[in-house]
Copies of this chain bind each other. A is one copy, B any other.
């Protein structure tokens, strides 16, 4: 570390963007093109621009929008990391968010000319993560699991219409364990988060499955 530390802290955001691919939980990593640690893999994020961002959330959404995600259905703060050494450019503050991307919108996330992307298993990212992003990813996953464990339904991972079994599979992918169908559906009924879509069924080589959508006042 030979370069001079900045006088003001660097303020940036990072997002753990989760989705489902083949009913498996995946998180978005990007391969850095720019100054610190070029070629390294990291959570998407970057330095905020006070002249255009109205908040940290705003900044995080702006940076993801640059990666072809116009509207994210959800963004939740996890924690803020800080310190003089976690970013080689100097004293930095980084607010971590997690977000859920509907599985049918995965193709909308594309690699740019300069940055490669990868959807990886959040428990075994494979790529060595730069900065303290390994720890951050673990925290984001923990926050997501905790929320689902407490009964929140990760409907934002699914298309606008879905079956109850799809909701169950999404929860199982997040929690990493199988859930009993009967008990799970009991919970779904007691919560008021789901509404039947009349006449909409998924057909296959079995009994058709009723489709549902998130109720009006649903918040994850």
Bound-state Cα–Cα, A84 to B8, Å: 17
Question: Which residue of chain B lies nearest to A96 when distances are taken between CB atoms in the complex?
Answer: B80
Q: Name A50's contact: one of B7, B79, B80, B95 (CB within 8 Å).
A: B7
Are B56 and A80 in contact (CB-based, < 8 A)? yes
A9 beta carbon closer than 8 Å to chain B: yes
A151 beta carbon closer than 8 Å to chain B: no
Number of interface residues of A (CB under 8 A): 22
- A 1-30 binary contact with B (CB < 8 Å = 1; else 0): 000011111010000000000000000000
Are A9 and B95 in contact (CB-based, < 8 A)? no
| A95 and B80 in contact, given A7-B50, A9-B11 (Cβ under 8 angstroms) | yes
Q: Could you say how many copies of this chain the assembly holds?
A: 2
- A 152-185 binary contact with B (CB < 8 Å = 1; else 0): 0000000000000000000000000000000000
Are B83 and A55 in contact (CB-based, < 8 A)? yes
- A 29-66 binary contact with B (CB < 8 Å = 1; else 0): 00000000000000000001010001111000000000
Are B55 and A11 in contact (CB-based, < 8 A)? no
Q: Name A56's contact: one of B8, B50, B56, B93 (CB within 8 Å).
A: B93
Specify which chain B residues have a CB less than 8 angstroms from the CB of A80 in the assembled complex: 56, 77, 80, 95
- CB contact list, A79-107 vs B, under 8 A: 79-80, 82-84, 90-91, 93, 95
Bound-state Cα–Cα, A79 to B83, Å: 17
Are A9 and B82 in contact (CB-based, < 8 A)? no
Question: Which residue of chain B lies nearest to A48 when distances are taken between CB atoms in the complex?
Answer: B9
Selected A-B contacts with CB under 8 Å, 20 pairs: A5-B50, A6-B50, A8-B8, A9-B9, A9-B11, A9-B50, A11-B11, A11-B93, A50-B91, A54-B83, A54-B84, A55-B83, A56-B80, A56-B82, A56-B93, A57-B82, A77-B79, A80-B80, A80-B95, A82-B95
